[in-house]
Structure 1
């Protein structure tokens, strides 16, 4: 379960979207290509009958866009990758500006699609209202939200289903689980699922009521409700979109990212993104190293790390297997993506007292953004070297 507390520094600040017609409604992070997908309802004569999907780099630069016609409000968004490419799950078959079915369309850079074309329409349930969907990439599941009444979200009642994603893509819908919900009294601004929990984002434009919640899939119990203060003071500040945020596919420390939309008086639409801290790791996680070159002091000193929120702790003590001296800038091992710093970190470690008689026992290490841990010392040290209380913020 993700702890809905203090958020990290921004992932995006003031990213400009493809359409100036409306703010973002939904977001999705695709971890293979490291792109943001952002859905906006476009300002056509039919208003909610066309969506613009912007694709942004990890740091918010606009790559391209796609226009999807005969769609709904763009209330949520899912992105699926398979062997043939990237697919969008979004609104289809609009009625009164809201979707009554889903559409699964291939993402075509700077292309178009028809969300009501029978070949792309998917109908998990009939006789429901204001439907939308997203994807849990960690479990390859489609998450489908539906209303049993045609009402605004504060008064909405209905349910959330989860389906096997491959089966749903083929048009087969057998719910793995359904979670009922009642009227929340709050304005829904997005939802997602990560593992055993469903997360919702609520709030209104210009009001200090942005809230994220966590609900248990199995019991339906509300486990957390957290007021979000990220990005204060933005003009027309409005929460819009929440999604799973992985460093890479299969990341066991996946967390959640959420959007806060804003616009200027000139009408330019901006998106701001932040994330909640990564879940911790307990116990320590071993790091692979070259056992032919290096040997630890004991099993307790094999290279290992742990996460506590966004702090990364490193613990190791190694000797050269052949007894030779350490080389200046020699790389000892490489950390996995989720434990790497965003910039080079300098760490202080220790060296065997026998190797530096009459000199300091301190030795310097560096950890680079690609996760390589290297020793830097001009003394051609022999014996063991190690780091025991080193940490940084990922």
Structure 2
């Protein structure tokens, strides 16, 4: 392990209080996707205090660069997502959310604090390495928004590596998951609008029941997953809302369903979309109505580069010990738009264990009003961010 990495590890421990206070501040003032104005201003203030120039991206995202003063010219991109969720925090704690109905229930406050702390350390030691560290504080991960904007506007162009982290409440604190290949599903949002014809329920033959059609689409969608695709392949068509009808005694004229499709490959993703389109329109036509379907591409499947994953796993084993690095587990059907960076730049996404059985709230699932983390996970993330940057740039 290079001497600079040893120094960064020691300083990461020393900066724990700084990182924890940042995380708790972000936790108390959560801002949901595309509303992260206070968060962005706070990030900018910290980066500027390190002597870094900042640029706003996607309205509430922040970009900065740390240029090492050495001779190397390689570039690594480090990303942290910054948005909170429209979830009410139910647990009482000194740093409880001060914004009713909004909460950092997915650990993005910790990711932001960790990358800021890593930036502080790397900025302090810019005379000790060459190359460039690109810092991406990305808004809108929860709605599949921010990553694509950064990529489309060229902030990943020319980078040699990208790296990101996410806390994991199902992994013990101190352990890290770095798995090559598919890690997270691609996610597509859809809305199906069904049009029928209203009538009194005593004369159903005079109407076209949009509610009945919608119900048939819901059940048919499950047949797509179980009968049209290999059951060994991960696939979900999840329908979360169905709104229909205007009165208890009137045949529903309209119905609207919303949900997501979650797949692990581009081929399956395209095939499922075609099947669902055919199901919706065909079912509606069969019963005398019509249906239109809208799609929104939230994020691509997240597939970690095999070579980069091996590099990062080696680094993590040096930092935390081989027994604390997990390189194989079941992929998640949850999406993460860090996938858009990996499509552009070879990279990997690591999961940082944040669960501690002696702190029950840290084992609660993400997106839950009782969610919290063991804050020692932040130090793990800081170490991994900083060490991955330096070891890659120095070609270790």
Q: TM-score range by the shorter chain?
A: under 0.3
Larger strand fraction of residues = 1
What TM-score do you get using the length of structure 2 for normalisation? 0.24
Which has the higher Rg, Structure 1 or Structure 2? 1
Q: Bigger relative contact order, structure 1 or 2, given CA contacts below 8 A and separation 6+?
A: 2
Larger helix fraction of residues = 2
